[in-house]
């Protein structure tokens, strides 16, 4: 470990003595000074998806409130591509000063199972700040499918051919693979480039079912153009309290919950991480911010940095196992 020698006046005339500080102590001191003046300039929040998407809207409403709390603008910077990996890599390699942040989402723990050569480590290269919200998918079927529950769907699948739509590698795709494996059934996976086209084909009856976001399918549920059977979380969603989870509806132990959170580059000073966590959780308690997040189909889920870190560490091997069961190989 390096040391730094500082000469200071000795009590006797012309005399000096040396006070030695380790490099580690100096780093702590410098980090403390930086944290005391943080933030002194605008922050940048990287979002790994295009403007207008669900994550983008959440980032903008959260950054607006956090800006007022921190006293500096927080600018949303959309960097879409490679299932969010482009934006994630930017933050992993950014300066660890708290001025470049990432809107992390479930892909942060799924992508290690789908991509061989990621240019970052989802744990080692980040200082996790906290979760913002969790979200569930809803299992929906076309009305011409004669099933009213999860149990009936499983029984029908054992004697009939079914097709399921999904974006390859998405949490909805892996939720379908987990369901199929746990239920001991099979169906034809039909890949799509997005939830929009997949939903259109489900509405027309070209595919039988899919796991989808509640916000996207809710209008079709109200008009009875689609039928919802259950949600994918460990507990019922606040948005659909009357809809059972898949686990309680017939496939015990099933759980696939998505989430959003904030992350910073690794080695961001602890004091800055805690300042950001406090600001984020305060923003989530704001009625207008909470209203928007809930309206977008999410359940508000503030956490500590340690709780977020534990979630990430648990979910990486979980999603890897799901991908393995489904026969999905990293590319």
- Indicate if the pLDDT at residue 20 is higher than 50: no
| Residue-level pLDDT at 53 | 75
Domains, the chain, with CATH or none: 41-135+257-325 (3.40.190.150), 136-231 (3.40.190.10)
Q: How confident is residue 328, by pLDDT bands cut at 50, 70 and 90?
A: confident
Which value, in Å, is the radius of gyration of the alpha carbons in the chain?
24
Task: Enter the pTM of the model.
Answer: 0.83
What is the tens place of the pLDDT at every residue in 119-168? 999 999 999 999 999 999 999 999 999 999 999 999 999 999 999 999 88
Q: Could you give the 3-state DSSP secondary structure of residue 235?
A: coil
Question: What pLDDT, on a 0 to 100 scale, did the predictor assign at position 285?
Answer: 97
pLDDT, the chain, mean = 89
SS3 category, 205: coil
Pairing of strands 163-166, 188-191: parallel
Q: How confident is the model at residue 36 (pLDDT cuts 50, 70, 90)?
A: confident
* Confidence (pLDDT) at 32: 56
DSSP string, 50-73: -TTSHHHHHHHHHHHHHHHHHTS-
Which pLDDT score is estimated for 325?
81
Does 2 sit behind a cis peptide bond, omega within 30 degrees of 0 on the bond before it? no
The mean pLDDT of 63-70, rounded to a whole number, is 97
Tokens representing 267 are 């080695």
Residue 97 has which token pair?
């000063």
Distance CA 132, CA 130 (A): 7
In tens, the pLDDT along 91-104 reads: 999 999 999 999 99
Residue 222 has pLDDT above 90, yes or no: yes
Close Cβ partners of 68 (under 8 Å, ≥ 6 residues apart): none
């Amino acid at each position: 470990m390096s040391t730094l020698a500082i000469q200071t006046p000795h009590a006797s005339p012309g005399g000096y003595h040396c006070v030695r500080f380790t490099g580690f102590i100096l780093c702590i001191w410098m980090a403390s000074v930086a944290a005391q003046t943080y933030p002194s300039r605008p922050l940048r929040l990287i979002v790994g998806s295009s403007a207008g998407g669900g994550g983008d809207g959440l980032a903008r409403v959260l950054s607006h409130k956090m800006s007022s709390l921190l006293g500096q603008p927080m600018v949303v910077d959309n960097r879409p591509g490679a299932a969010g990996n482009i934006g994630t890599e930017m933050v992993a390699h950014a300066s660890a000063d708290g001025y470049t942040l990432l809107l992390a989402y479930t892909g942060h723990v799924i992508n290690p199972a789908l991509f061989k050569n990621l240019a970052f480590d989802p744990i080692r290269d980040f200082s996790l700040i906290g979760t913002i919200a969790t979200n569930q998918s809803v299992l929906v079927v076309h009305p011409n499918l004669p099933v009213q529950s999860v149990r009936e769907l499983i029984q029908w699948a054992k004697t009939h051919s079914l097709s399921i739509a999904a974006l390859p590698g998405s949490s909805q795709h892996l939720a379908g693979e987990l369901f199929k494996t746990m239920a001991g059934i099979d169906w034809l996976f039909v890949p799509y480039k997005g939830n929009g086209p997949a939903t259109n084909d489900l509405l027309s009856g070209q595919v039988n079912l899919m796991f989808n976001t509640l916000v996207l399918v809710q209008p079709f549920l109200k008009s009875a153009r689609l039928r919802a059977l259950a949600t994918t979380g460990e507990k019922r969603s606040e948005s659909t309290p009357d809809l059972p989870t898949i686990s309680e509806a017939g496939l015990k132990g099933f759980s696939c919950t998505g989430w959003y959170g904030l992350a910073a580059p690794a080695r961001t000073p602890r004091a800055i991480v805690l300042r950001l966590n406090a600001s984020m959780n305060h923003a989530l308690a704001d009625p207008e911010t909470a209203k928007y997040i809930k309206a977008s189909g999410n359940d508000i889920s503030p956490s500590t940095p340690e709780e977020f870190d534990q979630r990430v560490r648990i979910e990486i091997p979980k999603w890897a196992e799901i991908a393995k069961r489904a026969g999905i190989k990293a590319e």
